[in-house]
């Protein structure tokens, strides 16, 4: 991988991505579990790794995720609910 913010597997290129949940009120125990998983580099069944979690008491949750080797497979696509996806730009990538 030449760019640490993207992942390449066998010609498939997938950048880090942000998942948003509009109404997901996380109890403190869930936040602690996610934080521990992030610290130790835990991954899900598709190899996706939590990088950061932003949340508030109102239930707005943003998850910054790094894709894993199975994230682009047909199995992953069939098991993950599809939502609207929009391309984002990092501030450091903006040119003045």
Please report the pLDDT score of residue 2 as a whole number. Answer: 45
Phi and psi torsions of 41, nearest 5° = 80, 30
CB within 8 A of 48, min separation 6: which ones? 65, 66, 67, 68, 71
Domain boundaries, the chain: 6-83
Please report the pLDDT score of residue 1 as a whole number. Answer: 39
Q: Residue 33, Cβ neighbours under 10 Å: how many?
A: 13
Q: Tell me the CA end-to-end span of the chain in Å, nearest whole number.
A: 27
Compute mean pLDDT per 10 residues along the chain, 96 residues long, and list them. Answer: 50 76 91 93 90 92 86 68 67 72
Assign 9 to helix, strand or coil: strand
Please report the pLDDT score of residue 52 as a whole number. Answer: 92
Tokens 């997938």 found at: 14
What CATH code would you report for 6-83?
3.30.70
């Amino acid at each position: 991988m030449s760019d640490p913010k993207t992942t390449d597997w066998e010609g498939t290129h997938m950048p880090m991505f942000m998942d948003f949940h509009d109404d997901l009120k996380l109890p403190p125990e869930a936040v602690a579990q996610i934080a521990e998983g992030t610290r130790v580099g835990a991954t899900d069944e598709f190899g996706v790794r939590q990088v950061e979690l932003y949340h508030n008491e109102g239930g707005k949750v943003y998850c910054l995720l790094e894709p894993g080797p199975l994230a682009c497979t047909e199995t992953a696509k069939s098991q993950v609910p599809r939502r609207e996806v929009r391309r984002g730009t990092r501030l450091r990538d903006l040119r003045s």
